Amino acid sequence: HRVGTGSAHGKIILLGEHTVVYGMPAIAIPMPDLRVDAVAYQRAPIGSPYIDPAPRRPDTELIRTVHIDPGGDDASGDSIGTAAHALLRILGYPAHPVDVVVRCAVPPGRGLGASAACALAAVRALADHLDHPLPPETLRRAAQRGEDLAHGTASGIDAAACLADGPIWFEAGWVRPLTCPARARIVVADTGIPGSTSVAVAHVRTRLGVESDWARKQLITAAALTRLAADDLATGALSALGRHCLASHALLSELGVSCQALDRLVTAAVDAGAPGAKLTGGGLGGCMIALAEDIPHADRVAAALERAGAVRIWTIPFGAAA
Ligand code: MEV
């Protein structure tokens, strides 16, 4: 069997984080330059010299090796191992032990889809190693098993977005591609504070239990904003999109999943002329996004975010159509 390779990329959520957990819609956009690469290969016998078959990239941050034995159960307890074993249950186990090495340039715990991208890259590499080309739907299903472990009740949007070529509409497990304004950019800024998606999701769930009418109304209003944003994207109405992003940030903040660092960056982006800004992903740390009209505008917003304390900044187009 050959050395199998697989890759995936990070993502941001434009609008709809948290509401998407309850079957409401969300819009996600890939970050194609934030990549995860994985290789899967037959494990060398014990005592043989170690030869690293994995391609190295200078920007990769996280390296994980998962060992898989023929017919074995998943003992890894991590999302990559769970996803890999889920795939092998679908395909039938290999006749030999396999190692999967994952190298990840997506910073973990920042709401950028690191765990989903790692799981996807791993299952792609495994399928390639076993010479078993698979439809995206099967890859997504296997990666989702890992996500369920990593995030508790994951909506599935991360696995869908980390596999997508362009912006997507995601609703109750269904994916539809979207087209977006051509020149506009999204500036993504990292607070440097790790945020746990499962803690943030549990927090919203608690509020739904304790203040059910109020919290449900917040979620329904947030979902309405996501629908308006899809219209804004279709018509290229960036300032309306910006207003809807700001309203979404306010709702998420009232639900308790923002934090001082995120609020500070949102204010800095707006002060620098961004039509809108908000937290992205689970919140409670992690990243925020700001809209910009074009690349020079994105540079100005990025500079303001850096001054306001962002530790890392990326500028991405709205997608394949850009
Ligand atoms: C994940 O990027 C965003 C959340 O909505 C969780 C999920 O959808 O599984 C907070």
The CB of 203 under 6 Å from ligand 1? The reply is no
Residue nearest atom 10 of ligand 1, based on CA coordinates: 282
Residues 176-235: pLDDT tens digits? 999 887 789 999 999 999 988 889 999 999 999 999 999 999 999 999 999 999 999 999
Say if residue 50 is exposed, middle or buried (CB neighbours under 10 Å; 0-12, 13-18, 19+).
exposed
- Residue 321: pLDDT above 50? no
pLDDT over threshold 60, residue 320: no
For atom 2 of ligand 1, which residue has the closest CA?
281
Q: Which residue has the tokens 């599935």?
A: 156
pLDDT-above-70 percentage for the chain: 93
pLDDT(105) > 50: yes
| Averaged pLDDT for residues 84-101 | 85
Distances (CA, A) of 255 to 109, 190, 214: 20, 21, 10
Beta strands in the chain (DSSP E): 4-15, 26-42, 62-68, 98-104, 168-171, 174-177, 185-190, 277-280, 287-292, 312-317
Is the model's pLDDT at 133 over the cut of 50?
Answer: yes
Is the CB of 13 within 6 Å of ligand 1?
yes
What pLDDT does 11 receive? 97
Residue 18 has pLDDT above 70, yes or no: yes
> Beta-carbon neighbour count of residue 75 at 10 Å?
9
pLDDT tens digits for 30-40? 999 999 999 99
Is 158 an annotated catalytic residue?
Answer: yes
Q: How many residues are there in the chain?
A: 322
Place 90 in a pLDDT band, splitting at 50, 70 and 90.
Answer: confident
User: In which residue are the tokens 């099967």 written?
Assistant: 138
CB count within 10 Å of CB 296 equals: 10
Say what the pLDDT of residue 183 is: 85
Which ligand 1 atom is the nearest neighbour of the CA of 151? 9
pLDDT of residue 53: 62
Pairing assessment for the beta strands 26-42 and 168-171 based on DSSP bridges? antiparallel
**Residue 29 pLDDT grade (very low, low, confident, very high; cuts 50, 70, 90):** very high
- Would you say the CB of residue 277 lies under 6 angstroms from ligand 1? no
| C-alpha–C-alpha distance, residues 12 and 112, integer Å | 6
Answer whether 0.95 is exceeded by the pTM: no
* ipTM higher than the 0.95 cut: yes
Check if 110 has its Cβ closer than 6 Å to any atom of ligand 1. Answer: no
Range in 149-158, 232-241, 263-272, 277-286 with the lowest mean pLDDT: 149-158
